[in-house]
Structures are given as C-alpha cells and as structure tokens.
Amino acid sequence: MKIGVMKEIKPSEYRVSAIPSAVGELVRRGHEVIVEHDAGKGSGFSDDDYREAGATIEADTAKIWNSVDMIYKVKEIFPEEWQYLRKDMIVFTYIHSNAHLDQTEALLNSKCTSIAYEDISDDRGQWPLLSPMSELAGKGGFLAALNFQQAVHGGPGKLLANVCGAPAPVVTIIGCGHSGMGACELAAGFGCKVNMLDINYEAMLAAKDIMPNNVSFMFSNRANLLACLKESDVVINCILWPKTRKDHLINREDLKLMKPGAMIVDVACDDEGAVETCRSTSHNDPVYYEEGIMHYCVDNIPSAFAQTASTTLSNATLPFAMAIANKGVEKALKDDKHLRRGLTTYDGKLTLLETAEKYDIPFVSPDDLVKEF
C-alpha cells in the first residue's frame, strides 16, 4: 500500500503521525511511505531520518494526497484539504466528527473511507489511541496551571507546590481517567492537596492504590463539587461531555464561589460542555477570563510536547495502520471489531452513531456494513 505521512497544518500543531521507526516497520513489510517535507521537524525528526527509514520525501502536498492509498496524519481534515478527498482513499487520523459537521459532510461527499483514532476501542472498553494523548493532556494541563499561576503571567503568584511556611495549594481534578491520573500524578508529586472526583467507585479505588496520601477521593456529586470549588486554587476538568447534553457540571454562577486568583483548566475542551464557560483556545492565545476566573482551554495540549506525543501516538496507531496496509481496509475492518468501532464514513455512509444522532444524519452500522464486504 502507498501511505502518505502528512505535515500538520493546524496552527501550533507540531506532532507527526508516524515517527521514523514506525515508517521503517511499514517499509520493511513492503509498503511505500511518502513523507511530506518537514512533517517531523516539529517533533525533532528530520527528512534524513525518514529517508534512512526507507521513506520518500515529497514537498508537493497535492502530489502526496493525489497519489497515495492512505493518508496517515494526526489532526482532522481541514477545509483546504477537502479538495483532495476521493472515493478510493483511506483517511486515518483524529477526526472528531461530531464536533465538525462541515468536515463530516466533506468526508461523506467524497465517499472516502475515514477511520478515527479516538473511536477505536479495546477489550477493556478503553480507547487505546486516545489514552496516550489523554495522559499528556492531563500532565500538560497541570503544567499550564503551574505556569499561569505565576504573577508574571497574570496569576496570583502562587507556586503549586508544598513550600515550607505556606499552605499547600488545593487542586481539584474531575475524572479518574488517563487525563485525570496524569494531572494527579504531577499535582500530588508537587505536594499539592489534591481532590479527585469521579462517579466510578472502582476507578477511584484503583487510583487510590497508586496515589500518595495527599490525594483525596470523593464521589462527583453536586455537594462535593461545590465544596471543592470553594477551596480550590486550580480546578482541572478531565472528562469528556456528551455533545447532546445541554446541562453542565460547573455552571457560570458556580464560578462566583471560587477564590480570587483561582483558575480552571479544561483538558477536555468541550465548548460549553462540563464547564459552561469553556471555549477552546490555542497555544498562541491560551487563556481568558469569565466571572474573574482565568480559564485555560487549549485544545491540543499534547502538541506542546510534540516529540513525546508523536512517539506515543505513533506506537499506538501503528498496529492498526499496519493491519489496514497488510490486509486492505475492508478485510482489516471485517477482522477487527475495535478498528471497526472507529469507522466514521464509508462510501458516502455515516457509520458513527454519536455523530448521526447529534446531526440527525442517517446511520449505517459498521457491523452490518462489513457483512457486505
């Protein structure tokens, strides 16, 4: 199979989908990999690194799009890329179709096969291509709080660490998933008093076994949440909010309970999601204020740690990319129910239920679809 590894065009996006060692594995199995010029530069990988791995380097973006069987990238397909979509193409990337109706329509209209990293599952009911980025997002969210709590960056001048002679800062983390655990690991390691909220008792028990004693665990109910808001220096939201829900965990009015100088970090970055006042921001313009509370809602935190992020993402996606390349996309989908869960569009049909329900678009089950292959 002919595979194109693209340079990301999203502002402040420095990740690359496949690191040189992953490209080498694909080449070793007989596949042709074309890497766009400087695709890996932001992650510390040069064109020469990819050449040594057996890739061809190509500076003409259109030439890659128009010649390959599969596009292998990181971020969603942007409007300037829609022109290249075609029926005999496979798109393998983060898609987030229920947040981007216009992109979804472009994928459907092109009749390409698109598979979303974030929707591929595993036997534990987890999301193995999302979890590496989730951990980085959680850790990066805490580091952002550490940065923007500094007086030189507009914060109250509070170091998020246990310093002799000063009270330990309070950090509340909503969600015991990969993002929440990443944030908790750093916050607890810095000596903060950490509150973790979740509705899953088993998840809290598992987290409690590995976290130090300065971490408290409590059910995520309204009373506990409000109590935490009142005492917290930083609140980090790490849960994804269903797109169809109109309510919120943290309402605008709740921000008035928070201390002067307190901060909200929303790792999930669902606009008006779990946090009503959240709206996605960028690395170039990361913070804003609502009700006097600083908000940090950067929607691609892992890009700030591009080399680490690219390495972990490439490791996670490569087995699925390899299966598609080795077997062909139809057999790979037929053989693997977890890969099938990530199928977003196929031949003009929408195969992701969440997006179909949100936008009232006809849905075709991927399980039924593969019976026709």
Q: Which of 300, 370, 298 is nearest to 336 (CA)?
A: 370
User: Is 248 in the active site?
Assistant: no
**pLDDT score at 125:** 87
pLDDT tens-place string over residues 126-139? 899 999 999 999 99
Confirm if 325 and 29 have CB atoms less than 8 A apart.
Answer: yes
Q: HSE (CB half, 13 Å, CA atoms) of 269? A: 20
Q: What's the DSSP call for residue 260?
A: T
Residue 5: both structure tokens together? 């590894």
Catalytic residue (choose from 96, 233, 299, 336): 96
Q: Is 100 a catalytic residue?
A: no
Distance CA 182, CA 136 (A): 7
Q: Of the residues 198, 233, 254, 270, which is catalytic? A: 270
What H or E segment, with its residue span, contains residue 327?
A: helix 306-327
Q: Is the pLDDT of residue 372 over 90?
A: no
For the chain, the straight-line distance linking the first and the last C-alpha, in angstroms and rounded, comes to 19
Residue 333 sits at φ, ψ, to 5 deg, of: -65, -40
Q: Which of 165-169, 329-333, 368-372 is least confident?
A: 368-372
pLDDT, mean of residues 141-154: 97
pLDDT tens column, 293-350: 999 999 999 999 999 999 999 999 999 999 999 999 999 999 999 999 999 999 999 9
Q: What is the mean pLDDT of the chain?
A: 96
Query: Could you give the CA distance from residue 137 to residue 42 in angstroms, rounded to a whole number?
Result: 18
Closest alpha carbon to 343 in 85, 114, 130: 114
